[in-house]
Structures are given as structure tokens and as C-alpha cells.
Amino acid sequence: MLSSSKAEPANTNPQVATGIDLRSSTELLEAIRANFIPSSHSELHLLSQCISDAERDVQRCDEEIQKCDEEIQKLRAKLDSLQKERNERCRQFHRYRSLLAPIRRLCPELLSLIFWFACPKTSVAGKIDCPAVRVSQVCARWRELACSTSTLWSSFHIDLDVSRYGIEVIEPMITTHLELSRNSPLSFALTAFEQSPRLQCVVDAIVPHSFRWKEVELIARPSLLASMSSIKGSLPQLHSLSIDLVEGDKTRQDLFEVAPRLQALTLRSLTEPISCQNA
């Protein structure tokens, strides 16, 4: 008599006949390491179910991630908008506060005096440092006041041996200082050991204003003095003079022979004396 066979019922339990729980990540890894091979119908069915469930979970997670990304984009856009609005409100806030700043109540004469104390001489060396320009960039009132205060522009130091700026930068800087200093006495220092177009540019700019020279320091070769021949007899305000020549020649220097107000004279590295009326 043949025994009747029944179809094997579907098993929804993730455990296979060997007792491995396919839902457990740890036991799943153990099954992989143990070279477990599903072979029975129930094992294959349960494994297929686990794969379907995992795919469904991945899809669900992807959908959630996409929703979160969309929300994040919206929040970022909102955050950017709020940040821009905040920055604008902060600028407006500081502008309102600036209207109440005590310095706005200072009279032009006092503010101009503060500028004079706060602004040392302009320097052209490794970099250009012009305090008067920085002051003039604060606001329209300060710019007008700085440009009208001639003493802010009457002192400068130029070191062409260190500076790498070209004529296109140096020339307008010197021109601006000479123009805005108007008739104020000039105090300047010039260092240049090599004859160059830049040096000639500086000389051509300052020599016509020799009648305003008050404090002068020159560190250069004798050829510099030769290029300044036109200043002789045109130094009515010269008060202090310092000259340091490298490789001096035998030529007697008499450019400063007529300097009626000269009070301080410093000479270095000279092979022949410089003739000065009051020296």
C-alpha cells in the first residue's frame, strides 16, 4: 500500500531546518562562513522571502532618504534665506548705530588733528602702506576731510631697493601725495642704490617741489645728486638733511650750498665734503 504524500506547507519562520535564523545578521554571517547551501524547498522559499523583504526594506529606506533629502534642500534654502536676511538686518543695525557714534559730533578741526596723530608717513617698500588713504576710505566725510588736510600727505618713505612696484604704481602714489600736500613742507626719505627708470620717475616728481623740502634723507649713489642739479638755490625751507652715498666720487657736491634754514646735517660714506652754507 502506497503511503499518501502531502505538499510541504510554506514555512514563514525565517529559521531553516538547520536552526539558522536568517533574520539575524550574526547567524547569517555564520551561515555564509560555514559554507551553508540551501537545498530544500523550505530553505529556498525562506531565503527568497528574506531577499524580498530586504529589497523592500532597501526601497523603503531609499524613499525615506529621498524625502529627507528633499526636506533638507528646503531647509537649506530657508536657512540661506534667513542668513541673508539676518546679514542685511545686521548691516542696517550697524548703520543705525553709526549715526549715533560720538565721533560724528567732532568738529572738522579736531578730527583732522586726530588723523594727523593717527597717520604716520606713507611707506613704499616691501608693500605700500598709506595710512591717509585708509582713513579716506571710511566714509565720504572722512575722505573729504583727509584730502583737505595737507599735512597727512606731506611725509613719505620710498625704498626702491626693497620695493618691487613698478612706475605705474609708484608715480600716481607720489603725484597724489604732492598734489594733496599742497604747500605743506615735505619730509621724505629715498633709498635707491641702482639707477633705474623708477628712480628717475621719483626724482622728476619731487625735484620741482624742492622749495617745500623740510626734512630729507637720501641713501643712494652719487649719480642721484647729479640728477638733482636743479634744486641748487631752491631749498628755502630745508631744515634737516641726511645723505649716505655709496661709492662716492671725487666730485664736490654743492647742491645744498644755499640752505638758509638748515639746522641738522648728517653725512656718511663721503669721500669729499658737501658744501652747505650753514653747515
Residue 114: all three cell numbers together:
586726530
The phi and psi torsions of 220 (rounded to 5 degrees) equal: -170, -170
Look at residues 140, 144, 152 and name the one whose alpha carbon lies nearest to residue 178: 152
- Over 50: is that where the pLDDT of 180 sits? yes
- Over 90: is that where the pLDDT of 115 sits? yes
Q: What are the CB-based long-range contacts (under 8 Å, 24+) for 194-199?
A: 194/160, 194/161, 194/221, 195/221, 195/223, 195/224, 196/160, 197/167, 198/160, 198/166, 198/167, 198/170, 199/160, 199/224
Residue 102, in any domain of the structure: no
54 and 167 part of one domain:
no
Residue 121, in any domain of the structure: yes
pLDDT reported for residue 5: 43
Give the C-alpha separation, 220 to 247, whole Å.
Answer: 9
Give the C-alpha separation, 219 to 190, whole Å.
Answer: 6
Q: Which of 57, 77, 97 is the last residue of a domain?
A: 97
**Average pLDDT for 95-114:** 92
41 and 135 part of one domain:
no
**Average pLDDT for 198-203:** 94
Number of separate domains in the chain: 2
Give residue 17's pLDDT band: very low, low, confident or very high (50, 70, 90). very low
- Provide the residue range defining the domain that includes 64: 25-97
Q: What is the pTM for the complete model shown?
A: 0.65
3-class DSSP state of 17? coil
DSSP-assigned beta bridge partners for residue 129:
123
Question: Which CATH number goes with the domain that contains 197?
Answer: 3.80.10
Percent of the chain with pLDDT over 90: 61
Residue 112, in any domain of the structure: yes
Residue 276, in any domain of the structure: no
Q: Which residue has the higher pLDDT, 5 or 216?
A: 216
Give tens-digit pLDDT for 255-277.
898 999 999 999 887 554 455 55
Q: What is the identity of the amino acid at 120?
A: P
Residue 14, in any domain of the structure: no
Give the C-alpha separation, 50 to 43, whole Å.
Answer: 10
pLDDT reported for residue 271: 52
Q: What is the identity of the amino acid at 30?
A: E
31 and 69 part of one domain:
yes
Q: Which residue has the cell 545578521?
A: 25
Q: What average pLDDT does the structure give for the chain? A: 85
The phi and psi torsions of 80 (rounded to 5 degrees) equal: -60, -40
Give the C-alpha separation, 253 to 227, whole Å.
Answer: 12
Q: What is the identity of the amino acid at 14?
A: P
pLDDT reported for residue 133: 94
Give tens-digit pLDDT for 44-99.
787 888 888 889 999 999 999 999 999 999 999 999 999 999 999 999 999 999 88
